[in-house]
Homo-oligomer: A and B are copies of this chain.
């Protein structure tokens, strides 16, 4: 039986961090054996709100690819490719633009929220406004069956599937609808400052590429319970980032449970808990750092991985677009 296809990816606007690891990278490493996985480095999508600084993308494409290899994405079985090099994505987007109304886009909750977050005001770039359509092209061009997304991205999958239904009924059944794959235990890792989201732009991220010393310093500066002033005082667990991280990463849940009780009772200092978290995270990040180090020494090799992944993606794109053009009766020559 043919393996089902997964489409996933990241915008190359910076190195990847622990939030990405928890939210998706870990999962991709697991899934790559059972699915055919296409991993998109989404530089075209990143352009929609970075049109003024395309050079930051170029630099980060390699960083993101290094992060992939570092966490254990295997380029022999997963296809890592570069969005901007698959011209068919822009072509398919163009055709899809005719299948969606302006009013429908305006109702998309994800777009609404993101427009608010990005403070575009009334100056929303059209490219950003239409990006659900471009994302539908990403998904459908590779005939993805599964798209791993967070809860907040579910409306994007719905939009893509609407386009699929419209296309199939207008022309020919070229596409299949995709299913959202919302990881069960992958919540959202907070930033080290306790903010709900870890983000490049928020300056509160632990990067997969942070060295041991940087990681240690970040953990030591982590937000805990601001009212927990002396070791002997009782401390709070809720909203205490260090414990949230321990819940995610500690292999021995029993020890964490004991520490929590101790902390709440009083007599357990922040530094001690942080040191424990540091041990655990160093152990997780060590092999990732080592692989990153290893690949960093041969960037040509990394570039070739992206290049050959892109070639493979191109072949798939060509195949789908042949069907698309035939279905749309645009195959004149």
A55 to B332, CA, bound (A): 11
Instruction: Give Cα A32 to B66, complex, Å.
Output: 54
Q: Are A98 and B128 in contact (CB under 8 A)?
A: yes
Q: Which of A69-109 contact B (CB under 8 A)?
A: 82, 84-85, 87-88, 90-91, 93-95, 97-103, 105
On whether the beta carbons of B101 and A124 are closer than 8 Å, the reply is yes
The reply to whether A123 and B103 form a contact with Cβ atoms under 8 Å apart is yes
Measured CB to CB, the nearest residue on chain B to A137 is B94
Scan residues 17-52 of chain A and give those whose CB is less than 8 A from a CB of chain B: 43-44, 47-49, 51-52
- Taken together as a complex, chains A and B put the C-alpha atoms of A11 and B332 apart, in Å, by 16
Kindly state whether residue A198 has any CB partner on chain B within 8 Å: no
Question: Which label, helix, strand, loop or mixed, suits the secondary structure of the A interface?
Answer: helix
Cross-chain contact of A133 among B90, B122, B126 (Cβ < 8 A) = B126
Q: Are A170 and B90 in contact (CB under 8 A)?
A: no
In the complex the two chains form, is B44's CB within 8 Å of A94's CB?
Answer: yes
Could you list 12 examples of A-B contacts with CB < 8 Å?
A48-B97, A49-B98, A51-B170, A87-B91, A90-B93, A91-B91, A98-B128, A99-B127, A100-B125, A102-B129, A103-B122, A307-B333
- A-B pairs with the 9 shortest C-beta distances? A98-B127, A97-B127, A90-B94, A51-B98, A90-B91, A97-B126, A54-B329, A101-B123, A102-B124
19 extra interchain contacts, Cβ-Cβ under 8 A, other than A54-B171, A100-B126?
A: A44-B94, A47-B98, A48-B98, A51-B98, A54-B330, A55-B329, A58-B329, A61-B332, A82-B332, A84-B330, A87-B88, A87-B90, A98-B125, A98-B126, A99-B127, A100-B125, A102-B125, A103-B122, A306-B332
